[in-house]
Amino acid sequence: MSRTAHHSPGLRPLRDRVTAPSSIALPTIGDGLVWRPVTADDIGLILDLRHAAGRIDHPHSLVMRDELEEEFASAAFTPGNDAVIAVDSAGRAVAYGSAVAPASQETIVWVELDGTVIPDRRGEGIGRALLAWQEARALQHLAACDAALPGWLASSAHDHATPAIRLLETHGYERARWWMELERDLAAPVAEPPPLSGVRFVPYAEAWQERARSALNDAFRDHWGTQPVTAAEWAAGDRLSAFRPDLSVLAVTPGTHEGERVVGFVFVDVAQEEWPLRGGPFGYVTAVGVRREARGNGLARAMLAHVLGALRADGLNHAVLDVDAENPTGALGLYQSLGFTVTDRSVSLVKRF
């Protein structure tokens, strides 16, 4: 965890407000299970578990191997300390959970709890034991932090995953934010708005990396829970096989001596492995944003129309995206006006310190 001190008026540093255990015992629950710390050699086991659980918990999306590999390579994640796995006598991963501290902290110290239990072993108390371990590790993260900021333990679940939601609520987590998944049939064409004066669209490329990261951090600074994306996190996202820079777009304007300035962006992933889960080829819009000073001119609509046309030209049938139901820029209304309809919901649950 970063030792950089950030402060909120009236709050003492988290290390003075949070009590954490000095050591954490591994869970022992579950017939025939061996619990142990995680190593990078477990990525294949974890991937199999995530896919088996995902068929129940999030049946329209997959966790990809390179996503796990990037997570394990991150400086913010120490697998041997931050994650635990339970393996049965056949060598199958039955449970996995992590508690990862933020790479950056500006307004919140958000520790993400990510865990799952294989469906055929649910109902044995394994999930409760896993959550207890995760919480203990998360408290260690908060108690090691000098920042005088709110501390959050946070997790998420799809709307239909009622047992997971109930487990978290039983342990003091509150439903803090709802997220909507939307989908659009690309068979219906999109009318492109007229060009915007002084703005040109370019596909994303490595040369735009830092300018695009700056634009994203500015655009999402007023969004719920969002903390700045670090250069390392950005580079990891660029390396993912699903990322399609050619289908993504940046809106740029004349800048200073540093060159053109990125004022807006739409980023796209295409994961062919997920196509059978949605009945055909689709693209996933991972982020849409406009710098604050460039809002109110129809730029987001123009970029989205451009990207939807590109997805259609690339042979994709649908576009999918997720949005904060209470997005402060009114993004949900924009997407619906472009023909997107709500297909699913998920919720963030938070315990605050």
The structural domains of the chain, ordered by start, are 14-172 (3.40.630.30), 181-346 (3.40.630.30)
Which pairing describes strands 259-269 and 249-256: parallel, antiparallel, or unpaired?
Answer: antiparallel
| Res 1: pLDDT | 38
* pTM for this predicted structure: 0.93
Distance, in Å, from the CA atom of 178 to the CA atom of 113, rounded to the nearest integer, reads 17
Phi then psi dihedrals of residue 291, to 5 deg? -55, 150
Q: Which stretches of 1-68 are assigned E, i.e. beta strand?
A: 34-37
| Cβ–Cβ < 8 Å for 134, 251 | no
Report the first-to-last Cα separation within the chain, whole angstroms.
17
- Could you give the angle at which helices 209-219 and 231-239 cross, rounded to 10 degrees? 110
- pLDDT tens-digit profile, the chain (353 residues): 333 456 667 899 999 999 999 999 999 999 999 999 999 999 999 999 999 999 999 999 999 999 999 999 999 999 999 999 999 999 999 999 999 999 999 999 999 999 999 999 999 999 999 999 999 999 999 999 999 999 999 999 999 999 999 999 999 999 999 999 999 999 998 887 778 899 999 999 999 999 999 999 999 998 999 999 999 999 999 999 999 999 999 999 997 656 899 999 999 999 999 999 999 999 999 999 999 999 999 999 999 999 999 999 999 999 999 999 998 788 999 999 999 999 999 999 999 99
- The two three-digit tokens of residue 110, written as one number: 């958000």
| Res 194: pLDDT | 79
CA 155 to chain CA mean position, Å: 11
| Cβ–Cβ < 8 Å for 189, 238 | no
Nearest to 136 by CA among 164, 155, 111, 116: 111
Contacts made by residues 29-32, CB under 8 angstroms, sequence distance 24+:
29/124, 29/125, 29/126, 29/129, 30/86, 30/94, 30/95, 30/121, 30/124, 30/125, 30/126, 30/129, 31/124, 32/88, 32/89
